[in-house]
Amino acid sequence: MTEFWLISAPGEKTCQQTWDKLMTATTRTNNLSTNNKFNIPDLKVGTLDVLVGLSDELAKLDSFVESVVKKVAQYMADVLEDSRDKVQENLLANGVDLVTYVTRFQWDMAKYPIKQSLKNISEIISKQVSQIDNDLKARASAYNNLKGNLQNLERKNAGSLLTRSLADIVKKDDFVLDSEYLITMLVVVPKTSYADWQRTYETLAEMVVPRSTNLLFEDQESGLFSVTLFRKAMDDFRHKARENKFTVRDFQYNEEEMKADKEEMTRLSTDKKKQFGPLVRWLKVNFSEAFIAWIHIKALRVFVESVLRYGLPVNFQAMLLQPNKKNMKKLREVLYDLYKHLDSSAAAIIDQSAMDIPGLNLSQQEYYPYVYYKIDCNLLDFK
């Protein structure tokens, strides 16, 4: 399970008592969850008005940062292409896997100084993550263009004889070149029609050079034949060939152009390889930054919400639960029994069965008598 429930409850005589009670109710007897204390430093409270406004802003910031974290993770998977199984080992926070980072969370004093107001800290995070989002757009756009151009060229060099590039198939010797009167044309003939072609090609137009056809290349469905004729019979030949279900390919042998195409392919391929390493490094570093920022927002939200709900002086215990998947419903019930005295209005919402109605999304209104936020470390769309 990569899902965590980040909750807080008011300190009883001490915060340790709050913690012990939770441990007794959820792990010591019934193994409903694995729990860790979630350490939030003494942040500056500020005024009640500011906290109320900040509560809404942090909710929006939480969604935005989560979306950036997922975008970076997903783009890492796209860039790694065939080595998608390596994605998870590149998605680290501060050099450790995400579960370890979340369960051992320590506030980063250097990045987010707690002497600053809560509003300032949230603005620092917002700025930092917006920058990552903008950089990601620019880098992804450049790399995707390169990749797209390369794929187009690769596509041109693959596919059927009706569409693919012929540059790597034909040789100079296959053509009559520099003749004022004669020209070599290339024709795609279905394999089932080889005999028809041999029988009829000389009579498809006047002025076709007898015995001038050669099979140059075959794929699964068809063959590429050359045929030499007088230039002035070209249109007539093309028209008659089409009537017989032979396809004339528009192709002029031009060494310079063919060489340029090959060089372009090599250049794009080299560029892609060159950009790959630095891009993956950038994604690793900025995934870590964005993920760390996201968990700090969760910490800020727990702090703000706990002060708003439980009042001052600040006295609450933040706790991180990793639910045992089979017992999630039971865990909710136990938490409800443990904390229902905190807020009687939450009683109406405990009925979890409503959660299972398809198309009814209650996640926005999930409300419990204790402060609750979900952290889901499974950030990719594929298994």
- If you write DSSP's letter for every residue of 38-58 in order, what string do you get? ----------HHHHHHHHHHH
Same domain assignment for residues 146 and 281: yes
Same domain assignment for residues 184 and 287: no
Same domain assignment for residues 115 and 40: yes
Number of independent structural domains in the chain: 2
**pLDDT attached to residue 357:** 46
Contacts of 275 (CB under 8 A, 6+ apart): 142, 143, 146
**pLDDT attached to residue 348:** 52
Tell me the two tokens of residue 30: 């019934």
Same domain assignment for residues 99 and 133: yes
CATH of residue 145: 1.20.1460.10
Q: Please report whether residue 308 resides in a domain.
A: yes
The mean pLDDT values, 10 residues at a time, for the chain of 383 residues are: 92 94 90 96 93 96 98 95 82 96 97 96 98 98 94 84 87 93 97 97 96 95 97 96 96 87 90 94 98 98 96 95 93 94 68 46 68 94 56
Range 362-373 burial, b when 16+ CB lie within 10 A, else e: eeeeeebbbbbb
pTM for this prediction: 0.80
Same domain assignment for residues 367 and 282: yes
**pLDDT attached to residue 82:** 74
For tokens 């004729």, name the residue. 229
**pLDDT attached to residue 85:** 76
Tell me the two tokens of residue 216: 């140059």
Q: Please report whether residue 292 resides in a domain.
A: yes
Same domain assignment for residues 178 and 146: no
CATH of residue 246: 3.30.70.100
Structural domain range at position 231: 172-252
Same domain assignment for residues 185 and 93: no
